[in-house]
Amino acid sequence: MQQYIECKFVIEPLQPWSEILMAELITIGFDSFTEEQDGILGYIPVSLFDEKKFDELVAFNSYEVKISYSFAEMPNINWNEEWEKNFDPIYVEDKVLIRAEFHEANPNLHEIIIQPKMSFGTGHHPTTHLMIQQMLEMDFKGKTVLDMGCGTSVLAIFAKQKGADRVVAIDIDEWSVENSKENAVRNQVELEIAQGTADNLGKDTFDIILANINRNILISDIPTYAQVLHKGGYLLLSGLCFFDVEDIMKVCQENNLELIGKQQREEWMSLLLMKKEE
């Protein structure tokens, strides 16, 4: 069982800096958070923890916010059990319900059923909500789709449920890959699930690419996404704070990707781009 470190961050002012700090902590290995009245609790595997990396974060170098922190190694915990105890159903625009098997079904809503293990992307995070929200308005019928950094594969499952012909789901984390396979079975959909990164894409091509990751990986991988995206195809991005958009758009414009829609939830953004015909 993987050992974790719990970091308590006291933040003043709390907003918008708690969201900004969470976004930055994800880039250095933190994978889950709990909000407190005066800040946040962040969790990171012991193997990834490096206190010196805090000095590289914008939030720790801004005169607009004061952050103090303490940390301690956690005792062995059954994280799956903890997720189950704290996992509530998620509603997106009263159209989509993301729930676990132990929640009550709602036949009036489009349902996605997942087992809430230690994978990012249960739907509780604003970026996952934003992705589903944008996907509601997109046409997936007969399309080839890539869910990059798939987590629980909630986005891949939704794409398949919306009529996608072929859906590929890729994540660097072995736990996410196994959880995605289980969730595909739960929702009775067929996904091509693999462990890896954008480097694994090869010559495969797609009509739609979904990438809810973080700014650093997106900036690195957008040129690859553009190469494997069909002309006229769509790239839907999230995992971004509002202050990341300028840097992301610079890379997108350099790779012939045109912004056609964006949405914001709290401090988080999603961007819908189209590959221009040239």
Please tell me the pTM assigned to this model: 0.75
Chain centroid, CA 180 distance in Å: 14
Could you tell me if 55 and 8 lie in one domain? yes
Could you tell me if 28 and 153 lie in one domain? no
- Cβ atoms of 259 and 247 closer than 8 Å: no
Count of alpha carbons within 13 angstroms of residue 110, beta-carbon side: 16
Could you tell me if 119 and 155 lie in one domain? yes
What span, in angstroms and rounded, lies between the C-alpha atoms of 34 and 42?
A: 7
Overall number of domains in the chain? 2
> Does 216 show up as a binding residue in the annotation?
no
> Does 122 show up as a binding residue in the annotation?
no
Domain hosting residue 17, numbered range: 4-76
Q: Express each pLDDT in 186-230 by its tens digit.
A: 999 999 999 999 988 888 899 999 999 888 889 999 999 999 999
Identify the three-state secondary structure at position 69: strand
Could you tell me if 236 and 252 lie in one domain? yes
Does 52 score more than 70 pLDDT?
A: yes
- Cβ atoms of 47 and 80 closer than 8 Å: no
Q: Mention every residue, 6+ apart, whose C-beta is less than 8 A from residue 132.
A: 92, 96, 98, 123, 154, 155, 158
CATH code of the domain containing 181: 3.40.50.150
Could you tell me if 108 and 196 lie in one domain? yes
What span, in angstroms and rounded, lies between the C-alpha atoms of 169 and 152?
A: 10
Q: Average pLDDT, stretch 15-36?
A: 84
Q: Express each pLDDT in 105-157 by its tens digit.
A: 998 999 999 876 554 445 556 888 899 999 999 999 999 999 999 988 999 99
> What pLDDT sits at residue 169?
96
Could you tell me if 107 and 53 lie in one domain? no
> Does 171 show up as a binding residue in the annotation?
yes
What span, in angstroms and rounded, lies between the C-alpha atoms of 14 and 40?
A: 9
Does 83 score more than 70 pLDDT?
A: no
CATH code of the domain containing 22: 3.30.70
Q: Mention every residue, 6+ apart, whose C-beta is less than 8 A from residue 16.
A: 266, 267
Residue 54 — φ and ψ, nearest 5°? Answer: -60, -35
Q: Average pLDDT, stretch 45-72?
A: 92
> Does 204 show up as a binding residue in the annotation?
no
